[in-house]
A and B are shown apart, each in its own frame.
Chain A
Amino acid sequence: MAFISDWTQLGNDIFYRKYELYTMEWGGGINLSDFMVAAAPYGGPLALTRDETKFTKTQHTGKPIIFVFSSSGRKISSFKWTSGFLMSFGWSRNEDLVCVQEDGAVTLYDMFGNYKHTFNMGQEVKDTHIQSAQVFTSHRETGVAVLTKSNRIFMVNNINDPKTRKYPDIPGGCVNCWCVVREERNTNVLVSQGRDLLLLYLVEQRPQALYPEWVEPGGCVVEMAVSSNSRHIALLSDTGKLWIGSSDINIKYCEYDAKSQVKPKQLAWCGTGAVVLVWDMTLEVVTVNGDATSYYLDSASLLVQEPDCVRIIGSTTHDVLQKVPLVVAETLAIGSMAPGALLLEASKGFQEKSTRANDCLSMIKESVEEAVNQCLQAAQHEYRPQVQKMLLRAALFGKSFVPEMNPEPCKKTIFTLRVLNAVRDFRVGLPLTWSQLEHLSIPVLLDRLVLRRFFPLALKLASFLGLPDTQGTSRILAHWACYKVLQPSQKSDEQIAKEINNKLGYTLGISYTDIANRADQAGRKQLAIKLMEYEVRKREQVVVLLRLGEDQTALRQAIQSGDTDLIHTVLYRLRQKLSSAEFQMLVRNFPVAQALHLRSCRESDVEELRDMLVQEDLFHDQALLRIKEAYTTARTDTRVALLQSATGLFRKGRSEAQQQLTEEQIKLYRIQVRLEESYQHSFTDLSLHDTVHQLLLSGQLKEADKLRSEFKIPERRYWWLKVIAHAEAGHWDELVNFSKNKKSPIGFEPFVDACLKNGNKSEAQKYAHKVRDENKVTYFVKCGLLDEAVKAAQEQRSAAGLTEVLAACGPQHQALQTRIQTLLSDPSIKL
């Protein structure tokens, strides 16, 4: 059968298969052995450059060129290597090309040859230079390890956060080979030197010698390879013996004699089950059980180790070598009696309308569900669509006998296989296996497509899989936009921005800020500004506009947002950026901003406030500012000067009333200062009324009278002041004299109230007789003169008055109460 013709049996029920993925598009002209090559795992890109250590015919002189190809040999980019001597390169987990130079400088490029960043392995590396370097996958990230010419090992565990670590020294002498071994979170280095095998721990002082169990000890290790999961290791000795065991060297799985005096060009793990050795034209597969087989190659090839297989890249073809998954072996192997195999047979029979269908089905009656799953899983691991189809058809056929079976696995398999087939296409060139995709996850796959600028495919896959917008469509579109703004174009910036907006709309998860930032980085400031118009998040918009130098627009947008905090932010930045005059000129066009600015000035920066008020010819406000200042100073002369300048400003602002009031205040203030000197009492912060009050309290009647005439206090008001002050000070005689002096313009009610307020009822009674008639009853009651109150009410013939008195009567006023009652019954009393 065609689909198992490429299988090779290695041991019991273990098969290996080699399948041709692509015919390399680069044509046959490339001899890989002339190049330094690095291939990224998970079907990633290939980087090639002329191997400087070899003599080759070159078309170019001078600086070498780095070519980047997809796995199918399609050229992605090429760029000239301009830095120092390139020691080694490799791919990071994000598919960036990591180039290590002889002096320890590490430079990162994306697959399109765009420079990303550079870091350094440290001074010592720079001084001593590198002997060899390795780019490896560490615990979470990609790392770089180097061996200097002085036999020291340095390592950076994470290229995004480069911290150089130095490993324990190894004795002098030639290092045969070395590799990085991950162990949980630690990264150790295994070094073969002479006949020794040394393990370097970062934390240990000195290396630890290891002694793998060789059948014939004495050889030295010349090549080593660690499996992708870091659990297993393969060591090759100079005598051609291959030792396979656990990566801590404690357990030996097998030892295999390669029977070759020629050192293989490369040693790699195929998944975890076998080690692959490659020479110029042959390839040998050795399983961990020691079974081996060999293949012939038609050109020098490169091995790319993957977690579940190994890829073999030759000049013309790109193959994958993998252990046939058990489920596939069971389903497809000839004569297999596994349920899956029988179901497949039944399905085929059904299509041929043969009774075989029934026979086979009856054999798996009990395990149709298992059979369906087997077929599905087998399909998952197949590369050829027709085999996938055949298996899926069998699965669906089987499923129709189990109506209650969960359809999800079927659906998922079919959908995912479509995705896999789509990305495996030679135009895309991502030869992922099912398990690799499981490990990467769909979003990462989409990212990788976006990274390769397959935007339409990514979009199609996202909508095919029904991913939510934020994960799928809008994220892809955002990336597209970021790419779009970098492309040179004939169109105007406005048009480009509009196009982007048309495509992107205002979907959730799209950040115009990011796109604009990208445009700005590419030096397209105008485009960035245009793009920012579409940003809905005002804060982002304003911040970016500010950075782009669009002060006016930023301020306008901030004001539009109605977010005061944002306006403050803009003002704050602008104030740092612009000169005071420029700032004021800008701000005066924006009343909202100006108001906020004035406010913060009022709180913190009086000078600036004054400046602005002067600028705007606001005399009235300037004057008020002076007045405020005047009352914060205690110095007499300063205060007078400030108040005087305020009057001047009021005059300029034609505020006559305020001017006059301030002039009077200066007069008052001078008098207060004098009073303070003569009477040892604080006057300066008092109002005119308070000053008079204070003078009256302390009995300075003459001074009070003087003030009164000076400031033309109206008579009524002066009476009030006097009454209140006299009563408060207990100057009862003065009060009496005063009341007799003239007819009171304010009546005598205030006298009574003032006396009562200060708790002097008898004094109050003196004035109660003088109050106006209509208030008499009330005031008599207030003073406790109930008899008089009754009399007054009686005179006025007022029932209301009488009731008022009655209400005020206590138990001691029995007689009075009865009198009022009789009076009330008198019909002549008004009701």
Chain B
Amino acid sequence: MGEIVIFGGDSHPELVKMICDNLAIHSSKVQMGKFSNGETSVSVGESVREKDVYVIQSGCGHVNDTFMELLILISACKTASASRVTAVMPYFCYSRQPDIPYTNKGAPLISRSNEERPEESDNSTSTGLTTRKPGAESPFEESESSIRSDSGESEDSKQSSSFSSAPNSNDIKKSVSFSRIPVIPDGKEAGSTKADAGELFNAQNAGYKLWVAQAGTLIANLLTTAGADHVITMDLHDPQFQGFFDISVDNLYCKPLAQKHIQFGIPNYKEAVIVSPDAGGAKRATSIADSLKLSFALIHKERRSQLLKGPPGATLSSGGTFSTNPKPLVSHLHSEEMHHSNSASKYVQTTMLVGDVRNKVCIIVDDLVDTSYTITRAAKLLKDQGAAKVYALITHGIFSGDALSRIRQSAIDKLIVSNTVPQHETVAYLGKDKVDVMDVSRIFAEAIRRVHNGESISMLFEHGW
């Protein structure tokens, strides 16, 4: 294998720099840009013939642009006779696709950027993070921080209509720089449902179940097609994702790093409780809890027909081994009735906490936070149940839309997040003492070094670096 060459994409230059510093080499020259018609241009500034090339690009920012950049760069290296090209994607885009949030009529919450918001804030052209400006508080923020399902399913129009009637001044920056693509808002506004969207989602009656295309396999295949020989990533949302690839994939874990941050960053961590904000993340959370010998709690959200509902807590009586507490284990924090226009059945959404958190320090563990609804809701539930302090430990902090302002107003006392995605906005917005950034560059640097030298990397899974 030839010499090592590292190229950094545009998405996360700091991480590229740090990885290179750890490896004590310089990243090679590459120029990314756009032609005037919007097409991505890439020009590789150094010879890569018979070299071992690593391309570092995180799936953040304007995802489709950064991903195309990565594909073009990989294929440019391949056509320039690189002996091996490894795609290093600290955050793997499209690894999780949530459902589209619906209104109670079954139509998706879609906003057509231009039409709805004639007046735009000064940085409407920025394509970066679309967050609220610091200091600009929205009057209706408090009222809705209570519970909101991640997928927005429980969101109904009565609440949303109060939003749209509220003075929608320029304190809310929206992703509006894209004129033709309808945007799925992060559950914030409604009432902007397009007519055809409404029609589309009424198709549910015709015996056809709507589904959202899962792009995972496609993304894997596109990388392979572009010429990637190897992929290095971290904390894939689904471990099965590795199987989508026909090439070798090294899925690194943030867990060793996270454990260290718990041990050294959280005072009295031995008394803390690890909390999974949803059932899907339970496995991830328990593995941290097990290795640190901490107790564990789970937040579970469910929707069920009211008719089928037994007395509170009845369905969970079997899990009562936790109980030493006079408080009921199952806490119905919030119930919201949903009336479906096409059926008479009523659904009740319940959020419940399984486990005891009273007067304890809680650490919510999740792999990915995007809109932050799940995690802020979890934090509120924990505080309501008497948690002393709530930490949130996250691998990939995307924080799109108004996520950051939601986190600032939430019950989360401290955010611990890795830098697989740039976090300076987060730090600037929430303040240094509220955010702790875990540096993953050492893990990635070591993985690159070991892959280049043909050494085993499994030691990194256990011990981190």
Determine if chain A interacts with chain B.
Answer: no
Residues of B within 8 A of A (CB): none
